[in-house]
């Protein structure tokens, strides 16, 4: 039942339509075992829909899915046995305590009776919720709830973990904690598929980033490869009065320079290729955000 | 009528929960070791003994384990509403009406009603949780979303939920008999079978509730079902008066009312008037339960997995 070495996730030609709306439009994606792949895309790109197809909660209209060697949807349950899922929307039972939730999920994931208590203790440790084990979810902070959601997904030591926007809406400190937790998974050799629209999150955690837009993967590589391929080495940020920037934008378009608005400035990508023509401005190394905007045409956080 | 009890029937959708303030959380201030280096063996993965198929006992019992934890929290309210209402009917009709009508056939009216109201208790404690719990857990609390991401199929989920409701209503169905003992109903050994009749009937009606929830657009839609289906059903089931008193057409319709068969069977068992035709009543209940179970599971499956 193992996928062995090779790919933990294989998506081939996946299409998902909801009526006339095409949420996923011919998606191909492979995630090798032990890799953390960041699915980076703007709102509505189809990230959650893709995740839900992997858990068997949405059926693909076309295409084939293989998870840990199991063909979906027929063998979806086998795949779910060895997979943990952190959904985008919190679906914890608010009336139950952390301990109750974790023991219920230990049973749902068929953790043998004799190992359940140890599994719950371990999961409480992962979420750093030992002191709050008997607090009902309703009384937990938003950050604690997120950590519990992650711990719930890890109760059975899955080989594959799906994280759908794990840190959305959290303050920076809690985000840092979750990042540490996810990095720990990666260090343990767990395969991770994480969707996000935070550039920094993808940059920090992902071995490979797949940029998703309008239901397709439009670019894939390590963060460094993506930056090099789509934003070059350097970016010049030009600051100035709006009229001047508008004029410069027009010139950049005319001369075929790849550019984008970046806060109050106009950023010219691939600046190292401009040589003498480059406008005066602040030079900085290109980053993943530059590449992302160049690829999707969308500004994100 | 009988509002269910679990968390949320009647409370606002948890989707509207106010966000919890983040500040001052002492846990976030303490450092902990990185998650990757926690004690214990890595990747226990799936135990070799795990069976993967349809209707796995392990899956069903795991979903029921959640129901039981929930029940431990809310059993007082659940039990109160499931028991008190039929008992009120029993007292109002049995004692109030019973002062006018002394006998139905050769039974005293209290005996007649106490045994009939068993079915009422079963109906209320199964159809309502079937509708409300399902809708609330599925649409508002996203509980089913969480459960289905684990190795649990929609069929197992619905089966576990309705089986648990059925077990409860089998037990609650006994309450009217117990109350009846104080008013002259005689305990009979065959009454020990009543919880099983309640379980079968309750399973059917719990699945009926789930089926309604599968189609309901909003939770208010249940009012139509309550007024147009459940209330008439419970009135013309032979609970308070024999269906032979009904006009011809209505009498025929009443024969298709599963609750009527539950009433007849429970009454014949409890009053020791069991005869062969009761096997027909049992057969109808079993078919009703199985049919509604298939309908509820297939319809919920179609709606849960889009
Ligand atoms: N059950 C559904 N029925 C109809 N349309 C849907 C359904 N689920 C998703 N969609 C649509 O599919 C598209 C992709 O949605 P999806 O949730 O996968 O995006 P996403 O990348 O996760 O976005 P976000 O970053 O906002 O979470 C959207 O247009 C959405 O409205
Ligand atoms: Mg999403």
Nearest to B28 among A55, A91, A174 (CB): A174
Taking only the tens place, the pLDDT of each residue in B74-106 is: 899 889 888 888 888 888 887 788 778 888 888
How far does residue B140's CA lie from ligand 2's centre (Å)? 18
Interface of B with A in 61-90 (CB under 8 A): 61-63, 65-66, 69-70, 73
Separation in Å, CA of B37 to nearest CA in chain A? 7
Average pLDDT rounded to a whole number, residues A71-81: 93
Is residue B272 within 8 A of residue B186, CB to CB? The reply is no
**Closest residue in A to B58 (Cα–Cα):** A110
d(CA A239, CA A287) in angstroms, rounded, equals 18
% of chain A residues with pLDDT over 90? 64
Separation in Å, CA of A120 to nearest CA in chain B? 12
**Angle, helices B258-270/B277-304, rounded to nearest 10 degrees:** 140
Query: Ligand 1 in contact with B305 (CB < 6 A)?
Result: no
Pairing of strands A36-40, A208-213: parallel
Average pLDDT rounded to a whole number, residues A151-178: 92
Q: What is the pLDDT of residue B15?
A: 37
Which residues, at least 6 apart from A50, have a Cβ–Cβ distance to it below 8 Å?
A11, A14, A16, A24, A27, A29, A39, A195, A212
Average pLDDT rounded to a whole number, residues B167-191: 92
Rounded to the nearest angstrom, the gap between the alpha carbon of residue A226 and the centroid of all alpha carbons in its chain is: 16
Under an 8 A CB cutoff, do B46 and A81 touch? Answer: yes
> Class assignment of domain A7-222?
alpha beta
How far does residue A153's CA lie from ligand 2's centre (Å)? 18
Average pLDDT rounded to a whole number, residues B229-244: 88
Average pLDDT rounded to a whole number, residues B8-19: 38
Query: Ligand 1 in contact with B306 (CB < 6 A)?
Result: yes
Q: What is the pLDDT of residue B11?
A: 38
The contacts found for A119-122 with CB under 8 angstroms, 24 or more apart, are A119/A155, A119/A156, A120/A155, A122/B38, A122/B39, A122/B40
Q: What is the pLDDT of residue A299?
A: 64
Nearest to A91 among B58, B145, B304 (CB): B145
How far does residue B101's CA lie from ligand 1's centre (Å)? 63
Mean pLDDT, chain A, whole residue set: 91
d(CA B96, CA A265) in angstroms, rounded, equals 84
Q: What is the pLDDT of residue A5?
A: 54
Shortest-distance Cα residue to atom 11 of ligand 1 = A23
**Closest residue in A to B13 (Cα–Cα):** A94
Q: Which region among A89-103, A215-229, A247-261 has the lowest average model confidence (pLDDT)?
A: A247-261
**Closest residue in B to A136 (Cα–Cα):** B73
Q: What is the pLDDT of residue B49?
A: 53
Domain residue extents for chain A = 7-222, 232-285
Mean pLDDT, chain B, whole residue set: 83
Query: Ligand 1 in contact with A43 (CB < 6 A)?
Result: yes
List the strands of the sheet with A160-164, edge to edge.
Answer: A83-86, A160-164, A191-196, A36-40, A208-213, A216-221
Shortest-distance Cα residue to atom 6 of ligand 1 = A18
């Amino acid at each position: 039942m193992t996928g062995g070495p090779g790919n933990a996730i294989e998506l081939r030609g996946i299409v998902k339509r909801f009526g006339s709306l095409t949420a996923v439009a011919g998606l191909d994606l492979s995630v090798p075992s032990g890799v953390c792949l960041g699915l980076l895309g703007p709102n509505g790109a189809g990230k959650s829909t893709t995740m839900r197809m992997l858990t068997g909660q949405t059926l693909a209209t076309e295409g084939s899915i293989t998870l840990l060697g199991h063909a979906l949807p027929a063998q979806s349950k086998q795949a779910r046995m060895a997979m943990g899922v952190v959904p985008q929307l919190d679906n914890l039972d608010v009336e139950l305590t952390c301990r109750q939730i974790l023991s219920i999920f230990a049973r749902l994931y068929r953790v043998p009776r004799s190992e359940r208590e140890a599994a719950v203790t371990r999961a409480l440790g992962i979420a750093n919720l030992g002191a709050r084990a008997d607090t009902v979810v309703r009384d937990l902070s938003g950050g604690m709830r997120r950590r519990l959601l992650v711990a719930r997904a890890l109760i059975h030591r899955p080989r594959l973990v799906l994280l759908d926007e794990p840190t959305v809406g959290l303050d920076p400190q809690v985000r840092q904690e979750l990042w540490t937790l996810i990095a720990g998974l990666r260090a343990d050799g767990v395969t991770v598929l994480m969707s996000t629209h935070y550039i920094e999150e993808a940059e920090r955690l992902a071995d490979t980033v797949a940029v998703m837009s309008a239901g397709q993967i439009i670019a894939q590589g390590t963060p460094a490869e993506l930056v090099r391929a789509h934003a070059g080495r350097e970016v010049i940020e030009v600051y100035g009065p709006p009229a001047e920037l508008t004029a410069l934008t027009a010139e950049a378009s005319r001369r075929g320079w790849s550019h984008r608005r970046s806060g109050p400035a106009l950023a010219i990508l691939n600046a190292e290729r401009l040589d003498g023509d480059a406008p005066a401005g602040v030079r900085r190394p290109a980053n993943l955000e530059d590449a992302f905007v160049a690829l999707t045409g969308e500004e994100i956080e | 009528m009988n509002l269910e009890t679990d968390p949320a029937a009647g409370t606002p959708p948890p989707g509207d929960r106010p966000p919890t303030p983040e500040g001052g959380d002492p846990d976030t201030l303490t450092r902990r070791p990185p998650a990757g280096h926690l004690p214990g063996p890595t990747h226990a993965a799936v135990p070799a003994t795990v069976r993967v198929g349809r209707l796995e006992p392990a899956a069903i019992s795991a979903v029921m384990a959640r129901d039981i934890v929930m029940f431990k929290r809310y059993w007082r309210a659940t039990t109160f509403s499931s028991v008190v209402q039929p008992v009120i009917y029993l007292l109002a009709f049995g004692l109030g009406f019973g002062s006018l009508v002394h006998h139905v056939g050769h039974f005293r009216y209290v005996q007649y009603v106490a045994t009939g109201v068993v079915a009422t208790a079963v109906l209320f404690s199964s159809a309502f949780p079937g509708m409300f719990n399902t809708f609330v857990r599925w649409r508002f609390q996203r509980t089913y979303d969480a459960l289905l991401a684990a190795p649990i199929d929609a069929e197992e989920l619905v089966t576990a939920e309705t089986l648990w409701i059925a077990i409860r209503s089998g037990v609650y169905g006994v309450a009217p008999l117990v109350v009846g003992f104080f008013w002259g109903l005689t305990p009979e050994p065959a009454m020990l079978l009543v919880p099983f009749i309640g379980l079968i009937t309750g399973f059917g009606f719990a699945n009926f509730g789930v089926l309604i929830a599968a189609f309901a657009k909003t939770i208010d839609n249940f009012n139509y079902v309550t007024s147009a289906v459940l209330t008439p059903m419970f009135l013309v089931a032979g609970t308070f008066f024999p269906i032979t008193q009904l006009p011809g057409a209505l009498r025929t319709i009443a024969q298709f009312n599963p609750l009527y068969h539950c009433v007849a069977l429970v009454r014949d068992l409890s009053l020791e008037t069991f005869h062969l035709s009761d096997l027909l009543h049992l057969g109808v209940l079993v078919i009703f339960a199985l049919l509604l179970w298939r309908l509820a599971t297939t319809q919920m499956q179609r709606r849960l997995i889009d």
